[in-house]
Structure 1
Amino acid sequence: MSDRSRDPHWNLDRHATGAGWRRLVLIGAVLMTATAGVHLLAMALGPQVPLGLVIALLAFFALSFAWIALSFWAAILGFLLNALGLHPLSLSRVGPGDGAVPELRGHTAILVPVYNEQPDEVFARLETTWRSLEATGQAGAFALFVLSDTTVDAIAAEEEKGIEVLRQRLGIGERLHWRRRTANTGRKAGNIAEWLDSHGSRFDHMIVFDADSLMSGDTMVRLAALMEASPRTGMVQTHAEPMGRETLFARVLQFSARVYGGMLATGHAFWQKGEANYFGHNAIIRVAAFSDHCRLPVLTGQAPLGGEILSHDFVEAAFMRRAGWFVWSLPTLHGSYEELPSNVVDYAVRDRRWIQGNLQHARLVGARGLHWMSRLHLVMGIMGYLASPLWLGSLLLSAAIVLEHEIVGPSYFGRVPSLFPNWPQYNTGHVHGLLVLTAALLFLPKLLALVLRLGGSSRVQGGRLAMTVSVLLETLFSMLLAPVMMLFHSVFVLGILAGRAVGWPPQARGDRGMEWDTALERHLGQVVLGAVAVLVIGSWAPAFLPWLLPVVAGLLLAPSLAVYSSRREFGVAARRWRLFLTPEEGAGDPVAGRASVAISTKDSALHGNTQA
């Protein structure tokens, strides 16, 4: 064992033990919270509700509530760790990756798979990334590979030209590579597999990017040092923070992720430890281990649930852990960035691809030899999207119970045979208790995250007043957006289960606005459903209508929300008013700032033309 592997600041492997009590704490809290919620709902329903409706609603509710409780308690753990200044792995002030960076000994490849992307934006990010790496003095330990799966010849020609210009600008010669595959077998996973076969033996580690990824040189050097000091570690996933987009929609989501996401990621890192997950990009991977153990199978049967696995990352992490290598998440490493879709439809379309990929994982949950935590990650990925139809089912069943009561009237001799009548019960105490518990699960993490920011970094995000207003506005926006995404996801899930497959087209990037005709086309069904719900409930059960309005309001306003939130000028105005700022904007982060400027101005020095 090398001297560096004994250093607690860099050896991740030494933190792999002691996860049992952490997981018991989390799972116990989740189960108690879910049990309390189910009990309150069961008591609120009372004995007069038909047994079939009760069983169905409680089943839907239990799964949904447990899912919300898991995120809640992870956020609470993250808050406590951040408030106390403790590292989620070491539970001390200092953890792996902290301190002065040692001299690197190995070789790391930075892989950038691209597929019909806008070349000037990709190369602007790469230039920023490489210059930041050069500033560390350790760029000699790295090489950069642009792995093109581009199918459009004109875009490929732009890529090839851009590579030559970028080589000259950076002065790195053959350490910047570009190659184009003629066949896109296996999509991104196949693209990387081809690199492993042709170049992998020359490198110890690979840092995998997406086309919209950006990472500081210091973060990349620290990742490489962690791998060199941790001989049993196969992957280290950073917490990629969104930045760089200017539409109001993207700015709200960027702000939300920056305020709440780090706290949540810290809580998950606490209990996952060496059985964390991989999200497909902004992570470092041990090349030999990945090449030997993480090749993807082709599932039997036809798409959408058979064929090539679309969402490769969770499966690769599961295979890596099955082979005995640790997989870590390190949200304490900053300087890792990505971009978000700029409007609600692009956001939903991206999720549509992920839903199909995650539902395929149901066929791998029982795969032989997987660690139970890996199976849990696969289930959690599936639940991330099944939560929407579960929520929809709960709403429909609740409405059915209300309508049945109003139309049929109370049942005095209910589901249990009795000589005595069951008088209608109105358990308002249980109803109010359930509402308070639900509100706490949904909104307390936002409040705690705001408390952390107000006590520390609020200045770089506009100041305390602007931060507070931004959180309130983001909460309102999220409440309106949630039912819209619920219906999108529910339709997508049902379509996939019905056999409708989707391809993997290039992700829409840039600040794309949305016109009214597109918004009406995509959201008309949601508006109609919201209007029908208001008419039916308003006619038959008007007392229930106020409880329904928080859901139907988002559906009725969906086209307006989509159009106006996609406007770049509104996002720019919000920035001018210091609303929804990210820390890099307030602090003038050199890496994120240079990349944003280069992308927004479409730096023509890299290319003669801009690909539309």
Structure 2
Amino acid sequence: MTGPAPWALDCHAGRTRFRRALLFTLVVLTAALGGALMWIVVGSGGLTAMETALLVIFVPVFASVALSFWSGVFGFVLGVLRLHPISLSRRGPASGPMPVLRQKTAILIPVYNEDPVEVAARLDFTWRSLAATGQGAAFDFFVLSDTQDAATGAEEERTVMALRERLEAGDRISYRRRTPNTGKKAGNIAEWVAARGAGYAHMIIFDADSVMEGETLVRLAALMEANPRTGIIQTHIVPAGRETLFARVLQFSTRMTGAVLAMGNSFWHLGDSNYYGHNAILRVAAFAECCRLPVLSGKPPLGGEILSHDFVEAAFMRRGGWYVWLLPELHGSYEELPTNLLDYALRDRRWMQGNLQHARLLGTRGLHWVSRLHLGMGIFAYLASPLWLALLLLSTAIVIDQKLVGEIYFGPTRTLFPIWPRYHWAEIHGLLILTLVMLFGPKVLALGLRLASTRNARRFGGRLALVASFVGEIVFSTLLAPVMMLFHTSFMIDILMGNAVGWPPQARGDRGMAWRIALKRHVPHALLGIVAIAVLGEITPNYLPWIIPVVLGLIFSAPVAVLSSRRTAGVAARRLRVFVTPEEGPYAPTRGRADAGR
């Protein structure tokens, strides 16, 4: 199979009609099937107010799950056929001999109250990897500090300057610290674009915890040079480098399933994809032209500066006529995850506030409809938890109401014959099976792809270890889901009440959680679970098996949070080859960070 010319992206941008028609037809049909089954289960004899509310909430939630499921199916099919999601050939746009770069690219590393040694170590790795490609001269590095503490800022500058001297980098590594930090990270980058951007064709944005391989950086720059209408290329970011059990489970889950979902998303996004704020390349002139962020009217949390700038910048770039691509085959792009449940939830609290601000931008004139969809999906990602909680409460209330009131054999009007109750067990079990397939289908398909290849399975510790890791991840995510549902719901209420979180620095490192903190956060969750078991066990014990996964996650939330935050537990899992990822093999990009920084 020959395929298109290497490095060509822009030529594929218009091939969207069939792909999106297929996707959305499948999503609508799946949502309609789920909705029909739910209607039969709860309301075939007439809908009460609670049953109507249940059905109204269920359909959009189920549709969002179906969208993720079918994206995963597309990614699985492409993986089986070994076809690139954009070109639909065996050869991807970034294939072929590496061209010699003609234009300059800046690598921007915004930092905010980070460990200077860690930042320098990651920069050191990326520099050396880039130098090994022979094209390092086409890239300059800029550490852009928003650190407000003067002493920490001085330490940052000393560390970066020492690294520059050790690498003999000259002015190819620069450090700049600004006060005040207007606009947060987005303002930091915008200030660099205004001051220095004219000297560079492209910029690659890092987060403070980003690591990228040199070959990946060169391929990104080559793609931008070859595609003059492309504004952003986003890599598939792989989490790596953390050792706690919590982080290792998430690293395994994202590494195993994330590539399949990214393949499917790339298939239907094409040139209207999204930007995740880092580990991506942007055309500087296009960014300067299109991506000036508005300041929203009103006060935070829903007004003021836009916190989640990345989706908005992608939407504005697309509005300006520039293409935005996601290329999942560009490996060598890494980040770090929060290492315990609380840090993970607090990061989501910050992201939720930023994504909810996007609701005020959905009607912005000139946006591409897919960009509006990305913004809407980002909002719905956090609305989903309160909606799932509402579904859970409504279904429980309906069951309790039916148990307390009993069956009604004669309605308000006189009839000769009684109204016999009808139990739709086939539809109930069909809906349950369909929901489980939608939720876990992409994970199972990704597991199948890994197991089918001996080489792939070995990279995850072997087939037996891979299956054990898969089962362990399912159990862990099931226990975690109800806790995150309550966290997200409380965050949502807090934001809508006007309480802003701002943009505090993110906690790094393998941070364990103390029992005192876990009990303070999770005792209310456990009490709620215990009360639920007691009440439902007394009123409607037959309903308990349906609710037990949620209840167990709440009851054991404190010990799960503490034990999963332990680095010793993560190291023990690695010794057993459980939750192993390919990055822990011969090449581990983030291992030895501190040594590299000395």
Q: TM over 0.5, yes or no?
A: yes
Match of 2:42 in 1: 45
Q: Which residue of 2 aligns with 1:518?
A: 517
Asked if 1:66 is matched to 2:79, the reply is no
In structure 2, the residue matched to 1:85 is 82
Residue 418 and residue 442 in structure 1: after superposition, are their counterparts in 2 closer, same or farther (change >3 A)? Answer: farther
Offset, 1:425: 1.3
CA distance in 2, matches of 1:47, 1:242: 47
Against the structure 1 CA distance between its residues 415 and 506, is the aligned structure 2 distance closer, same or farther, given a 3 Å change threshold? Answer: farther
- Counterpart AA for 2:579: F
1:598 deviates by 2.0
Deviations 1:77-119 (A, max 9, x none): 0000011100000000002111211000001000000000011
Partner of 1:224: 221
Map of 2:482 onto structure 1: 483
The residue aligned with 1:577 is: 576
Rounded to whole Å, the distance in 1 between the matches of 2:74 and 2:52 is 33
The match for 2:374 is 377
Is residue 454 of structure 1 aligned with residue 451 of structure 2?
A: yes
* Aligned: 1:271 with 2:262: no
Question: Aligned partners of 1:272 and 1:404: how far apart in 2?
Answer: 45
* Structure 1: distance between partners of 2:5 and 2:579: 37
Is contact 2:106-2:204 (8 Å) kept?
yes
1:192 counterpart residue number? 189
Q: Distance in 1 between matches of 2:4 and 2:103?
A: 18
Aligned to 1:305: 302
* Counterpart-to-counterpart distance in 2, 1:220 and 1:414: 71
How far apart in 2 are the matches of 1:47 and 1:369? 44
Secondary structure of 2:592's match? helix
1:533 partner amino acid: A
Q: CA deviation at 1:398?
A: 0.1
- AA matched with 1:461: F
Moved more, 100-109 or 418-427: 418-427
Q: Provide the secondary structure at the position in 1 that maps to 2:108.
A: strand
Q: Which amino acid aligns with 2:570?
A: G
Task: Report the CA distance between 1:421 and its aligned residue.
Answer: 4.1
How far apart are 1:121 and its partner, in Å?
Answer: 0.8
Structure 2 partner of 1:31 = 28
SS across alignment from 2:492: helix
- Specify the SS of the correspondent of 2:142: strand
Letter in 2 for 1:519: A
2:54 paired residue among 54, 57, 63: 57
Aligned equivalents of 1:480, 1:407: Cα separation in 2: 30
CA 1:68–1:88: 2 relative to 1, 3 Å: same
Tell me which amino acid in the other structure corresponds to 2:312.
Answer: V
- Encode CA deviations 1:211-235: one digit per residue, 9 max, x unaligned: 0001000000000000000000000
Say which SS state the counterpart of residue 109 (structure 1) adopts: strand
Q: Which residue number corresponds to residue 597 of structure 1?
A: 592
State the secondary structure of the residue aligned to 1:493: helix
SS at match of 1:96: coil
2:149 is the counterpart of 1:155: no
Q: Give the direction of change, closer, same or farther, for the CA distance of 1:250–1:244 in structure 2 (3 Å limit).
A: same
Q: Which amino acid aligns with 1:597?
A: G
CA RMSD of aligned residues (A): 1.5
Which position in structure 1 is the counterpart of 2:325? 328
Partner of 2:286: 289
Residue type of the partner of 1:484? V
Q: Distance in 1 between matches of 2:414 and 2:10?
A: 61
Deviation at 1:72, TM superposition (A): 0.6
Residues in 1 aligned to 2:541 and 2:47: alpha-carbon distance in whole angstroms = 21
Query: How far 1:444 moved relative to its partner?
Result: 2.3
Query: Contact 1:48/1:411 (CA < 8 Å) preserved in 2?
Result: no
**Is 2:343 the partner of 1:341?**
no
Which residue is equivalent to 1:3? none
| CA separation of 1:134 and 1:419: change in aligned 2, threshold 3 A | farther
**Deviations along 1:454-508, whole A, 9 cap, x unmatched?**
1221112111111110001111101101111111111111211121111110000
Contact 1:13 1:233 in 2 (8 A): yes
**Can you list the C-alpha shifts for 1:44-73, whole angstroms capped at 9, x where unaligned?**
114457521111001111111111111111
Determine if the alignment matches structure 1 residue 202 to structure 2 residue 199. yes
Please tell me whether the aligned partners of residues 148 and 180 of structure 1 are also in contact (alpha carbons under 8 angstroms): yes
The 3-state SS of whatever aligns with 2:232 is strand
Alpha-carbon shift at residue 418 of structure 1 (Å): 7.2
Change (3 A) 1:164 1:542: same
Q: 1:22 aligned to 2:19?
A: yes
Query: Deviations 1:368-401 (Å, cap 9, x if unpaired)?
Result: 0000000000000001111100100000000010
CA deviation after TM superposition for structure 1 residue 539, in Å: 1.2
Cα distance in 2 for residues equivalent to 1:25 and 1:400: 38
Q: Is the 8 A contact 2:118 2:597 kept in 1?
A: no
Distance 1:244-1:542 versus aligned 2 partners, 3 A rule: same
Cα contact 1:46–1:425 (8 A) shared by 2: no
Tell me how far apart the structure 1 counterparts of residues 11 and 597 of structure 2 sit (CA, whole Å).
48
Which residue of the partner structure matches residue 608 of structure 1?
A: none
Is 1:357 the counterpart of 2:354? The answer is yes
Kindly state the Cα deviation for residue 8 of structure 1 after the two structures are TM-superposed.
2.3
> Match for 2:225: what amino acid?
E
Q: Deviations over 1:14-40 (max 9, x none)?
A: 010110110111111111111111111
Stretch moving more, 117-126 or 241-250: 117-126
Q: What is the CA deviation profile of residues 105-138 of structure 1, one whole-angstrom value per residue up to 9, with x for unaligned ones? A: 0010000000000111111111000100000000
Contact 2:121/2:597 (8 A) holds in 1:
no
Identity of aligned residues (%): 60
Give the superposition deviation at 1:154: 2.1
**1:76 counterpart (73, 79, 102):** 73
Q: How does 1:104-143 map to 2 (within 5 A)?
A: 104-143=101-140
Q: Does 1:387 align with 2:357?
A: no
* 1:506 and 2:531 are equivalent in the alignment: no
Q: Which segments of structure 1 move beyond 6 Å, counting only runs of 4 or more?
A: 415-419
Secondary structure of 2:207's aligned partner: coil
Structure 1 gap segments, 5+ residues each = 1-5, 606-612
AA paired with 2:314? A
- Cα drift, residue 411 of structure 1: 2.9
Q: Which amino acid aligns with 1:271?
A: W
Classify 1:37/1:418 alpha carbon distance in 2 versus 1 (closer, same or farther; 3 Å). farther
**1:311–1:420 distance in 2 versus 1, CA, 3 Å:** farther
Structure 1 stretch 504-513 or stretch 47-56: which is displaced more? Answer: 47-56
Provide, for residues 500-548 of structure 1, a one-character-per-residue CA deviation record: whole Å limited to 9, x for no partner: 1111100001000001110011112211211121111111111101100
Does structure 1 retain, via aligned residues, the 8 Å contact 2:120–2:597? no
Q: Which residue does the alignment assign to 2:142?
A: 145
Q: Indicate the SS of the match to 2:217.
A: helix
Whether the 8 Å contact between 2:110 and 2:188 is mirrored in structure 1 is: yes
After TM superposition, give the deviation of residue 415 of structure 1 in Å: 9.3
> Secondary structure of the equivalent of 2:299?
coil
Output the amino acid matched with 1:297.
Answer: P
Aligned to 1:437: 434
Which amino acid is 1:568 matched to? R
How has the CA–CA distance of structure 1 residues 209 and 415 changed in structure 2, closer, same or farther, with 3 Å as cutoff?
farther
Contact 2:124/2:597 (8 A) holds in 1: no
1:490 and 1:99 map into 2 onto residues whose CA distance is 48
The answer to whether the 8 A contact 1:34-1:69 is kept is yes
TM-score by structure 1 length?
0.95
What TM-score, normalized by structure 2, do the two folds share? 0.97
Partners of 1:38 and 1:464 in 2: CA distance: 38
Distance 1:281 1:417 in 2: 68
| Alpha-carbon contact 1:204-1:287 (below 8 Å) kept | yes
Partner of 1:551: 550
- Structure 1 counterpart of 2:422, which letter? Q
Q: Is the contact made by 1:242 and 1:340 (CA closer than 8 Å) also made in structure 2?
A: yes
Partner Cα separation in structure 2 for residue 416 and residue 93 of structure 1: 68
CA shift for structure 1 position 153: 1.8
Letter in 1 for 2:583: E
Q: How many residues align?
A: 594
**How many angstroms apart in 1 are the aligned matches of 2:105 and 2:413?**
68
State the 1:440 CA deviation. Answer: 1.1
- Contact 1:49 1:401 survives alignment (8 Å): no
How far does residue 413 in structure 1 lie from its aligned partner after superposition? 4.9
